[in-house]
C-alpha cells in the first residue's frame, strides 16, 4: 500500500521481500556509524516486524522508502512518536530516516522527508515536527537544515537508550519545524 508519492520516490508499507534491505541498513557500519550497535539478522528481523506493525491510526510510522519507477526499497523514512520522555514530550512527533549507502547523495531522503513534513502538517495536523541526531552526524543534520528545520539547542538531550560505554553517541541535537513556519514557506497555502 502506497502512503505517499514524491517525484522519484514513494513511501509504502513494508513487504516481506524488503527484509534483506532492512537487515542491510541495520548491519552496515557506515549507516549505523552514529548508533551504539549494528543489528544481527535476528535483531533486524525483530525490528522489521515491529516497524511494520507500528503504523497506527494516525498513519504515523517508519515506511519503506522505495524507488518510484522500480519499487526497489532503498531504506526508510517516517513520522513517529519517539517515546523519549521526558526528553521529548509525549505529543512530539519525529521525522527520521535510514538509507542504504548505495543510495546516499542523491537527495532521496530529502525528497521523501519533505513530502512527509507536508503530510504531517497539511493532513495529520501536527503542530510541530522534530528530528534529532548525534551532534557529529553532519549528514543527518544537513538534511534537517535542507528541510527548513532549525536547531533548538535548549531541547538537546542525552539519549537514555545509548549505553554509557558510548559517551560520544549520547548527546543528541534537536531540530524543529513548527506548522506556522512551514506554512509561511508554502506559496499559495493558507
* Type and span of the H or E element at 41: helix 41-53
Our count of domains for the chain comes to 1
Has residue 169 been placed in a domain? Answer: yes
Rounded to whole angstroms, how far apart are CA atoms 91 and 82? 9
Question: Sign of torsion, CA 33 62 65 119?
Answer: negative
Has residue 30 been placed in a domain? Answer: yes
- Distances 186 to 47, 118, 128, 141, 179 between C-alpha atoms, Å: 36, 10, 15, 22, 11
Has residue 189 been placed in a domain? Answer: no
Rounded to whole angstroms, how far apart are CA atoms 12 and 15? 9
pLDDT of residue 125: 92
Residue listed under C-alpha cell 494516525: 58
Has residue 63 been placed in a domain? Answer: yes
Backbone φ/ψ region at 142: left (φ over 0), alpha (ψ -120 to 50), beta:
alpha
| CATH (domain of 129) | 3.40.630.30
List per-residue pLDDT tens for the chain, 190 residues long. 788 999 999 999 999 999 999 999 999 999 999 998 999 999 999 999 988 887 755 568 899 999 999 999 999 999 998 888 777 776 689 999 999 999 999 999 999 999 999 999 999 999 999 999 999 999 999 999 999 999 999 999 999 989 999 999 999 999 999 999 999 988 765 5
pLDDT of residue 85: 79
Has residue 123 been placed in a domain? Answer: yes
Has residue 168 been placed in a domain? Answer: yes
Q: Can you give the residue range of the structural domain that contains 166?
A: 2-184
Has residue 47 been placed in a domain? Answer: yes
Has residue 190 been placed in a domain? Answer: no
Amino acid at each position: 500500500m502506497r502512503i505517499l508519492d514524491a517525484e522519484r520516490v514513494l513511501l509504502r508499507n513494508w513487504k516481506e521481500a524488503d527484509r534483506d534491505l532492512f537487515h542491510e541498513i541495520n548491519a552496515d557500519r557506515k549507516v549505523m556509524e552514529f548508533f551504539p550497535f549494528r543489528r544481527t539478522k535476528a535483531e533486524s528481523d525483530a525490528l522489521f516486524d515491529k516497524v511494520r506493525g507500528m503504523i497506527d491510526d494516525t498513519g504515523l510510522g517508519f515506511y519503506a522508502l522505495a524507488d518510484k519507477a522500480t519499487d526497489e526499497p532503498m531504506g526508510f523514512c517516517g513520522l513517529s512518536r519517539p517515546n523519549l520522555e521526558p526528553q521529548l514530550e509525549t505529543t512530539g512527533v519525529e521525522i527520521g530516516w535510514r538509507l542504504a549507502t548505495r543510495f546516499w547523495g542523491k537527495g532521496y531522503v530529502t525528497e521523501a522527508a519533505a513530502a512527509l513534513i507536508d503530510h504531517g502538517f497539511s493532513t495529520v495536523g501536527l503542530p510541530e515536527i522534530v528530528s534529532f541526531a548525534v551532534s557529529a552526524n553532519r549528514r543527518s543534520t544537513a538534511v534537517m537544515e535542507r528541510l527548513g528545520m532549525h536547531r533548538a539547542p535548549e531541547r538537546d538531550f542525552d539519549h537514555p537508550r545509548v549505553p554509557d560505554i558510548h559517551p560520544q553517541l549520547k548527546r543528541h541535537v534537536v531540530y524543529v519545524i513548527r506548522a506556522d513556519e512551514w506554512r509561511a514557506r508554502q506559496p499559495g497555502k493558507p
